[in-house]
Amino acid sequence: MNCKEAEKKIPAFLNDELDGSDLAEFVEHIEECPECKEELSIQFLVTEGMEQLEQGNNFNLQEALVKTLDSADDRIRVNRVLRNVLLWLEIAVAVAIVAAVVIVSM
Ligand SMILES: [Zn+2]
């Protein structure tokens, strides 16, 4: 899978619509490609964040992303990859929170 294909599949991954070899190839590419990993982090933040805010929920992104990654984890054995992605997402969440605080305080 190349970057173009992987990027196209990010929304499907976030909607839990990838299966079998699609999911395996996608996760494999994400593991090897920092650019796509970053893109996944950003799209996850945007998608989940907006949904949470629209629902008026507390911004419990941490829990949401753990759930998303765990459900993919159930279907294929990619613990190491997912922990790796999770770490990236945590960094992205931290950056997003800092950015939000900076924007609010301006
Ligand atoms: Zn890529």
- Ligand 1 centroid to Cα of residue 53, in Å, is 29
Q: Specify the pLDDT at position 79.
A: 57
- Ligand 1 centroid to Cα of residue 27, in Å, is 11
- Ligand 1 centroid to Cα of residue 16, in Å, is 19
H or E element that contains 52: helix 34-54
Cα angle 90, 94, 95 (rounded to 5 degrees) comes to 115
Q: Specify the pLDDT at position 22.
A: 92
Q: How confident is the model at residue 76 (pLDDT cuts 50, 70, 90)?
A: low
Q: How confident is the model at residue 96 (pLDDT cuts 50, 70, 90)?
A: confident
Q: Specify the pLDDT at position 62.
A: 65
Q: Is the pTM of this model over 0.75?
A: no
Per-residue pLDDT tens over the stretch 33-64: 999 988 888 888 787 777 766 776 665 666 66
